[in-house]
Amino acid sequence: MSKDILKDALEEVLSESYDEMTGLDIPDYDFSDNFKEKMEALTGVPEEKAEKKRRKIGWIAISALTAVAAAVCIWNGVQKTPELKKFNSDTDNIITDTELPTEVPDVPGGIVRTTAPGTDTKYTVTTTAGFGTPITSTAVINGNGNNGNNNANNSGNGGVVYTRPSGKPAQTPKVTVTTARSSDPAAVTTVTSATKQPVVTIVTTKPHSEFDEEVAHVERSIVMKKFLASAVTIAFMNVIPTGLVQASYEPPTADPVLLEYVFPLIEDGTASPDVNNDGIFDRYDVCDLWAYIMHNDSMITEAEKEVISTRSDIDLDLRTRANDLVILERYYLYKNGLDPEDFNMYNYPDNNGEITMDSYKFVNDLKEVAIEQDLIYQYTANLIDTENIDLDFNRNGSADIYDLLEYQIYFYSKISSPFDSNAAKAVVSISASTWDNCDEYYQKCFFDNESNETLIKYFIYKNGFDPSYVDSWSIYDYLEDLENNLPEGADVESIKYAMSRASHLDVFVANVSKISIDAGFLKVVDKMDKINRMLEPNYMEDLEAACKIFDKRMLNGEVAPPDINFDGVIDMEDYKDIMIYCNDLVAQRDSSGSVLTPEVWNHIDNELDLNSDGVSGDMLDLQIVEFVITKYYENEDVDVNALLKAYNDAHSTDNSNIEAVAEISHIKYLEALNGKPIKRSGDADGDNQMKMNDAVLIMQSISNPDTYELTEWGEFNADVANTGNGITPMDALGIQYRLLEK
């Protein structure tokens, strides 16, 4: 409240002060020549800068890779205690070295790892894990190594009751891990029955184990690879709206070959999916086949291998190979849909009952298939609808695209410091309440660990598409506003350092674009193909032929000489224009971001098909222009300008209009390209002269900035080479050239 009063009062004072200033009687000052010169130089600068800003979109795309690379370095550099949250939830509440009581106390949000030494014990742990629809899992481990009961069924309310088949000869029942979600107060862990009360060691107290860290590290690597991929996507993707504003979601269908030929073989019993021969087809068949194919001896025994080797030829090609696993994974998910327990790595211990990286790897592998079949999206979207989950994370009254942007900020910070919410929270530009709301979603929809991609997809299909969703400027401005409105005392530098605005911008726009393309709202236009034309093996031959043909047609008056900028003259300015266009393509700039006028840019882009191959402005067309200019520029034998005039006279009905257009666009072009005349004086040391010591000072300021610092005006004056690009050794060289010319 104080802040609001202060702001209002300050505004009042500012307004009064302005009124006072307007009433002042200010004398006319006779400014010195030096001052006038300085200001003359300066008044040309900002317009140029404004022009540069208009081109910033292109720059943003190009800088994406750098920004992302930096982000990755930072990511790796600031590794804090990682965690894989998804399936083992919260590890803070683990109890250790305690005798298992008859009733295990409630451990909300905790993991209870029970170790029962002894060979003939059997006990059951029941866990209720709440995330939307509660899931109840009952794990029975038969310690004597004999095959126990093995069944699986889905309860009507979305819960699942299963028992882990032992299937592991001479295996000691060692580990049962049950997970209760901390966000659900109803989450309870209780021992419901035990055929024999064993002495059980319940391990923990460590906030997180080395295993958790290892898993989290892998998890984070996967996330960052996707992050990189997204950024790269936007850097090389040129998309335009298709005009579609609403689309309905169509779930992907399974591979038709599998559907028509392979799955029927399984259905009719020709091929059995029960590869471990325990009587039922369940997740453990998939896991065992995965371990067999991967030669993972720690997860299956020799005896199991024997069984699997005789039963795993799913595709009936008389051998067991990866294709059998590919089929089995897909068939399992095709038949069962998404059951979160299938992706709980703690369901897949090794032969010693331990959960290892292999457990995680299998789950991850299966998850890839689920992603491929879009099951995670379908599951999460259903959860959002049925649970009425509020996606208005910033609680501004509407769940809009910016909520998803803020969720992205939350997600990447969360995954960087999963064990330390306070540390993660301190380096984000979103508010604490937004963080909490995002966290609530993260806890509820824990299965969706695809950053904000699922949310974007849900949002786009639900609300339709608007081009502003991929408008980099809007997104950039929003991110900037977030940073500008940080609460007092926020660690601004850390927030900006942790994840740059540019990185978030690129990833967000890339994700929205990618999903919008899939939904049909956007289509990809790859202008780089125009440049890549020159990489084709027969390019040089094509070019030679195209130049010959064009030359002949031009001299015959069949086609006009390429007057790129419509100024009526074929000269080096035309050549410059095609080079600028070429650079624009590489930098992913369109006409709005180019220094060329829209008329010129669009002319090259759409109407300059000089070799009649159906593509305008590709490398062949550009090099034909180059050929014509270099061949006929100031050529005494052929006046190409006369040819142009003759062609225009013959083909135009309104020459005056063409000339007027040409004049206007050329002037605009020159203004845009050159800006106002700015000549920097080169006077780096401020002694009103340009001498060799200015060049020396520039080099010193670059090599030893702590000792030799240029003043602001010195920096301004010294920027003689590539003006606007800052101080570089080229400026020192530029000054030396100027001195030589004197």
> In the complex, what is the shortest distance from the CB of residue 255 to other proteins, in angstroms, rounded to a whole number?
52
What number of other Cβ atoms are within 10 A of residue 416's Cβ?
24
**How many residues are listed for the chain in this entry?**
742
Q: Is 709 in the site for other proteins (CB under 8 A)?
A: no
Q: Residue 263 — φ and ψ, nearest 5°?
A: -60, -40
CB 290 within 8 Å of CB 348: no
On the CB side of 298, CA atoms within 13 Å amount to 12
Tokens of residue 211, six digits: 């295993």
Instruction: Give the DSSP H or E segment for 192.
Output: strand 188-194
Q: Which stretch binds other proteins (CB under 8 A): 85-93, 512-520, 607-615, 712-720?
A: 712-720
45 vs 232 by CB, closer to other proteins: 45
At which residue do the structure tokens 């209720």 appear? 128
Residue 450 neighbours by CB under 8 Å, 6+ apart: 226, 371, 376
Nearest approach in angstroms of CB 245 to other proteins is 31
Query: Is residue 8 involved in binding other proteins (CB under 8 A)?
Result: yes
SS3 293: helix
Residues 195-224 that bind other proteins (CB under 8 A): none
Q: Which is nearer to other proteins, 8 or 354 (CB)?
A: 8
Which residue among 243, 712, 740, 742 contacts other proteins (CB under 8 A)?
A: 712
Q: Which one of residues 38, 305, 553, 691 is an interface residue with other proteins (CB under 8 A)?
A: 38
User: φ and ψ at 178, to 5 degrees?
Assistant: -120, 145
Q: Choose the binding region for other proteins from 10-18, 146-154, 305-313, 413-421 (rule: CB under 8 A).
A: 10-18
- Least distance from C-beta 53 to other proteins, angstroms? 5
Binding of other proteins at residue 432 (CB under 8 A)? no
Give the binding range for other proteins (CB under 8 A) out of 4-12, 90-98, 569-577, 658-666: 4-12
- Selected from 50, 229, 240, 572, the binder of other proteins by CB under 8 A is 50
122-129 and 188-194 beta bridge pairing: antiparallel
- Minimum CB–partner distance for residue 439 and other proteins (Å): 26
String marking each residue 236-265 x if it binds other proteins according to CB under 8 A:
------------------------------
Nearer to other proteins, 103 or 712 (CB): 712
Name the minimum Å distance from CB 9 to other proteins: 4
Give the count of beta carbons closer than 10 Å to the beta carbon of residue 49: 11
Counting residues that bind other proteins (by CB under 8 A) gives 47
Q: Computed from CA positions of residues 605, 610, 613, 614, in that sequence, does the dihedral angle turn out positive or negative?
A: positive
The enclosing H or E element of 522 equals: strand 522-524
CB of 394 to other proteins, least distance (A): 18
26 binds other proteins (CB under 8 A): yes
CB of 1 to other proteins, least distance (A): 6
- Rounded to 10 degrees, the C-alpha dihedral 478/484/489/493 comes to 90
- The least distance separating other proteins from the CB of residue 683, rounded to whole angstroms, comes to 14
- Beta-carbon contacts of 143 under 8 Å, excluding residues fewer than 6 positions away, are 116, 118, 119, 120, 121, 122, 171, 172, 173
In whole angstroms, what is the distance from residue 648 CA to residue 652 CA? 5
**Beta-strand pair 152-154/188-194:** unpaired
Contact set for other proteins, span 116-145 (CB under 8 A): none
User: Which segment (16-24, 278-286, 389-397, 568-576) binds other proteins by CB under 8 A?
Assistant: 16-24
Distance in angstroms (rounded) separating the CA atoms of residues 203 and 115: 8
**Residue 48 or 609: which CB sits closer to other proteins?**
48
18 binds other proteins (CB under 8 A): yes
Residue 45 is a binding residue for other proteins (CB under 8 A): yes
| Binding letters toward other proteins, positions 476-515, x by CB under 8 A | -------xxxx-----xx----------------------
The CA distance from 579 to 311, in Å, is 64
Does residue 3 belong to the site contacting other proteins (CB under 8 A)? yes
Which residues, listed in sequence order, are joined to residue 176 by a DSSP beta bridge? 114
Q: Decide whether 15 or 386 has the Cβ nearer to other proteins.
A: 15
Show the tokens assigned to 680.
Answer: 């920097």
Inter-residue contact 129 to 160 (CB < 8 Å): no
Residue numbers at the binding site for other proteins (CB under 8 A): 1-3, 5-15, 17-18, 21-24, 26-29, 31-32, 34-35, 38-39, 42-43, 45-47, 49-50, 53, 483-486, 492-493, 712-713, 716
